[in-house]
Amino acid sequence: MSLSSTQTPSCVTPDAHWLSEQQWLSLSADGIQLQLDLSAGLVTLAHFGRQTVIDPAQHRLMSGAATPQASLDILPPNTLFNDAGQGFAGHPAVMGDRAGHHWLTDMRLREDESDRNSAVACSTDNHGAHARLTLIDRLSELEVVLSLTLTLEGVLRQQTILTNHGSAAYRLEWLAACCLPLPVRFEECMSFGGRWVQEFTETRHTLSEGAFTLENRRGRSSHQRVPSLIVGTEGFSEQRGEVISTHLAWSGNHRLLVERQFDGSTQLQMGALLLPGEQALAPGESLTTPEVVMAWSDNGINEASQRMHRTLRARLDWPTEDKPRPVHVNTWEALYFDHDAARLDELVTAAGDVGAERFVLDDGWFVGRDGERAALGDWYLDKAKYPDGLGPLIDAVHAQGMEFGLWVEPEMVNPDSDLYRAHPDWILGIEGRDQPLGRYQCVLDLTRTDVADYLFARLDALLSEYPIKYLKWDMNRDLTHAATQSGERIGMPAAHAQVEALYELLARLRQAHPTVEIESCASGGARTDHGILRHTHRVWTSDCNDPHERTHIQRGASRFLPPELLGAHIGPQHAHTTSRRTSLAFRASTALFGHLGLELDVSQLDQNERTALRVWIERYKTLRGLLHAGVSWRLDCLDPHQHAHGVVSADGRQALFSISQLAMPRHALPAPQPLAGLTPEMHYRLELVELPEHPERRMKQLPAWIQAQLDGQTITVSGEYLLRDGLALPVLDPDQTILIQLSAVEM
Known binding positions: 196, 362-363, 439, 472-476, 521, 543
Closest CA to 596 of 639, 538, 647, 510: 538
How far is the C-alpha of 230 from the C-alpha of 248, rounded, in Å?
A: 12
Q: Residue 296: which of 35, 94, 564 has the closest Cα? A: 35
474 included as an active-site residue: yes
Nearest CA-CA partner of 747 in 650, 681, 671: 681
Q: Sign (positive/negative) of CA torsion 679, 682, 683, 687? A: negative
* Separation between Cα atoms, residue 277 and residue 296, nearest integer Å: 36
For residue 660, list its beta bridge partners: 643, 737
d(CA 265, CA 474): 43
Dihedral, CA of residue 695, residue 696, residue 701 and residue 703, to nearest 10 = 0
| The one catalytic residue among 137, 543, 546, 601 | 543
Rounded (10°) angle between helices 449-465 and 495-512: 30
Pick from 458, 453, 446: nearest CA to 499: 446
Backbone angles phi, psi at 355, to 5 degrees: 105, 20
- Are the C-beta atoms of 315 and 571 separated by less than 8 Å? no
CA–CA gap between residue 120 and residue 11 (Å, rounded): 22
Round to whole Å and give the CA distance between 124 and 339: 54
Q: In what order do the strands lie in the sheet with 266-272?
A: 178-182, 266-272, 254-260, 210-216
Q: What are 363-372's contacts with CB under 8 Å, separation 24+?
A: 363/332, 363/336, 363/337, 363/407, 363/409, 363/474, 364/335, 364/336, 364/337, 364/338, 364/339, 365/339, 365/390, 365/406, 365/407, 368/417, 368/418, 369/337, 370/337, 371/337, 372/337, 372/439, 372/440
State whether residue 662 is helix, strand or coil. coil
List CB contacts of 603: < 8 A, sequence separation 6 or more.
334, 343, 346, 347, 349, 350
The whole-angstrom separation of Cα 13 and Cα 29 is 6
CB atoms within 10 A of CB 674: 18
What's the distance, CA 68 to chain centroid?
42
Q: Where is the binding site for substrate, in residues?
A: 196, 362-363, 439, 472-476, 521, 543
> Distances in Å between the alpha carbon of 646 and those of 262, 663, 671, 675, 742?
42, 20, 18, 9, 11
Secondary structure letter of residue 697 according to DSSP: G
| Among 154, 118, 113, residue whose Cα is nearest residue 133 | 118
Contact at 8 Å (CB) between 52 and 104?
no
Rounded CA-CA distance 345/360 in Å is 13
Residue pair 275/221 in contact by the 8 Å Cβ criterion = no
CA distance 596 to 548: 16
Sheet with 94-97, side-by-side order of all strands: 94-97, 170-175, 279-281
For every residue of 375-409, which 3-state class applies, written as one string?
CCCCCCECCCCCCCCCHHHHHHHHHCCCEEEEEEC
Catalytic residue of the set 37, 298, 445, 474: 474
Helices 607-627, 341-354: crossing angle, 10 deg rounding: 60
Catalytic positions: 474, 543
